[in-house]
Amino acid sequence: MSKYEIAIWVFMLAAFLGFELIRRVSPLLHTPLMSLTNAISAIAVVGAILITGEKNATMLSKVLGFVAVVAAVTNVVSGYLITDRMLKMFKKRGDK
pLDDT digits (tens, 9 = 90+) for 11-67: 888 888 877 877 776 666 666 666 677 777 788 888 888 888 888 888 998 898 899
At 35, which helix (H) or strand (E)? helix 30-52
Residue 41 lies in a domain: yes
Q: Determine the pLDDT at residue 29.
A: 67
Global confidence as pTM? 0.59
Residue 59 lies in a domain: yes
Q: How many residues does this entry show for the chain?
A: 96
Range of the domain at 63: 29-88
Residue 17 lies in a domain: no
Number of domains in the chain: 1
Residue 60 lies in a domain: yes
User: In 3D, which of 67, 75, 74, 71 has the Cα closest to residue 51?
Assistant: 67
